[in-house]
Amino acid sequence: MKTAFAFAAGLALGMSLAADATAARAPAGAAATKVAQLRVYTIDKGRLDDFANAWRAGVYPLRLKLGYKIPFAVKVPSTNQFVWLLSYDGPESWENKEAAYYASDDRKRLSPDPAQWIARPEQLMATPVVPPQF
């Protein structure tokens, strides 16, 4: 199970970054930030569906609206985990982009806020090692 999950996450990451590589770039002279982060959340027992529903209704559309890409998001019921890939390719630093996201009025108004059900968050910066295979 873990091997299949790692393969799927790696494939999604590679596809995301390859698509980003062909997308429009920042204007000449502007520094661009290209980041991918794998997030693995262990969710409070019995709350995985609540978390996924709240995340899909609030976090997902807000992240897309603010310029992030989310090519991969899954529930893993056997381990009570929610796993997703978050990427950003733009002029702001990752730190500033994340700070602006969490400080935004839209993020503060999420209800229910899915973060309340995260028992253990893991955020892993990721770098592809092979191009995607189609």
Predicted confidence (pLDDT) per residue in 18-56, tens digit: 444 433 334 455 567 889 999 999 999 999 999 999 999
Q: Residue 6 contacts by C-beta under 8 Å, 6 or more apart in sequence?
A: none
Res 32: pLDDT? 78
Predicted confidence (pLDDT) per residue in 41-51, tens digit: 999 999 999 99
Question: Which has more pLDDT, 12 or 65?
Answer: 65
At 98, list the tokens.
């994340």
Q: For residue 22, which amino acid is it? A: T
Q: What is the mean pLDDT of residues 110-115?
A: 97
2-22+31-125 fold: Alpha-Beta Plaits (3.30.70)
